[in-house]
Each structure stands twice: as C-alpha cells, then as structure tokens.
Amino acid sequence: MVEKFPGEEGSVILVLLVATIFLALVTLGLILFFFFSRKKVIEKEREKANLKIEHQQKILQTSIAIQEEERKRIAQDLHDAISSKLNIVSLTTNVLLGDKEITKKQKETLEQILGITSTTLESSRKIAHDLLPPILEKFGLKAALEELFEEFSKNTNIDIQHDIEDFSLSESHQLHVFRIVQELINNSIRHGKADELVIFIQQKDSGYSLRYQDNGVGFDVDEVKQKAGIGLQNISSRVRILNGSLEFDSQINKGSTFLIRCKYGK
C-alpha cells in the first residue's frame, strides 16, 4: 500500500477543484455563447420579419394610392365622357318627342330610349359619386359622412347612430378617414350581417379618434390577427398613413368594435 502524504492529497484536491471550476466556466461560457447566438438569430429573424411587414405595408400603401388615382380617373371619365353624352341623348330625345308629326310607335320608342337613358345616367352618377364623393371636396368630411350614412340608411334596413365632430384635416386625410368608415360599414353589412351601427369621430388634444361599433355576428379576433382580409389590411394601411393606431375587439354573435386613434398629420 502506497502511503500519501498530506501535501500530495491537498494538491490533488486543489487540481480537482480548479478543474471543476474550469469546466463550470467553460460550460457557462458555452451556455452564454449559445444564448447570445440564439438571441442574435432571433433578432435577425425579427428584423427580417419587420422588413417584410414594412415592405408589405409599402406595397399596400402604394396600392391604395393607385386605387384612389384610378377611382378619380374613372369618376372623371364617367362625368366627362359618359354622363355628358347621355345628357345630349336625353336632350335630343326630348326634342324629338316635341315633334307633333311623329307616329305613336315612334313616340313610344323615343320614350323608351329616354327612360333607359335617364336610368343609365342616374346609375353613372351614382357610380361616380361612390368612386369620389364630390361633397367631400366641397364641404368636408362631416358632410360627406352624413351623406354616406343617409345613403346606407335609405337603401338598406341599417340604423346608423353617429356623432361626427367638425375639425380641420388635409384633403388626403379626410379621404382616408372616409374610406375607412366606408369599408367598415361594407364589412358590417356583407360579413357581419349587422343592422345597427354606432360611429363617433371626436377631436383630441393631439389628434382625433374614430370609434365604430356594430351588432353583427362578430368574428374570431385571433384568427383575423393571424390572417386579415384585404378589407382590414386596407384599413390598417390607411391608419398607418394617418399616423394612427388600430384596436379591435369582437365576440361571436355579440358584434364588433373598432377604435382608431390618429395624430394630426403634417
């Protein structure tokens, strides 16, 4: 049996202790290395996701701008090219109807042409109005929204309660707010099957808020947040353009609520 001296035993213990500490430090270093490496990977992935979202938002915003330009062009074409020509047809038909020498059959034909022309002219005006409401440019957002509510109430069974404060906004921002409300109402009627709406637009110290509520069938909020439809994407993009935030809540068969807060644009 080999006898160990006290000094040798202490050296072994010290070596083991140093080795243990060294291994612990190496392990801790590896853990920290993998932790920070993973953190950097996550940050990179988040940056890529944010860039992708920003890119998608820019595409949507560009798409919205193109849509508005196209709507404006079509509305102008309807007014200048189609409505003006239909007016000429209508006037010419009225002149021909005033001729006492035309036969009964000719008169009936002219009256039929006049009726078709008048109906087409009215449809053309309505389409142009929906594409670009002239009242928005002439009298502002409050008047345009009140006219919109009146049209919906007149042509559907929907009841709209509203309180729209009148305050100054740029023309482009007024148009975005108008389109947001228009889209929300269309969604409530088409998808939500709602027949009661409550809409408030109020001025705040640094901006304004839009509160929209319906009594429709509602939707799954989590599902919509994961995969929003084109309508909601357009609303979100317009809210971003308005330098605002969008919150919404809904329960199945208990309606939906949207709250938009915007800061005054430059």
Rg (CA), the chain: 34
Residue among 179, 180, 197 at smallest CA distance from 188: 197
Beta carbons within 8 Å of 249's beta carbon, 6+ residues apart: 221, 256, 257
pTM, full prediction: 0.67
Burial 104-116 (b: 16+ CB within 10 A, else e): eeeeeebeebbee
Contact 170, 265 (CB under 8 A): yes
Q: Are 80 and 88 in contact (CB under 8 A)?
A: no
What does the alpha-carbon distance between residue 261 and residue 240 come to, in Å, rounded to a whole number? 10
Question: Tens of pLDDT along the chain (266 residues)?
Answer: 555 555 566 677 777 777 788 788 888 888 887 777 777 777 777 777 667 767 766 777 787 778 777 877 887 777 677 777 788 888 888 888 888 888 888 888 888 988 888 888 888 877 877 777 888 888 999 999 999 999 888 888 889 999 999 888 888 899 999 999 999 999 898 888 898 999 999 998 888 999 999 999 988 888 887 777 777 888 988 998 888 999 999 988 889 999 999 987 55
Give the E-state strand segments of the chain in sequence order: 159-164, 196-203, 207-214, 244-250, 256-263
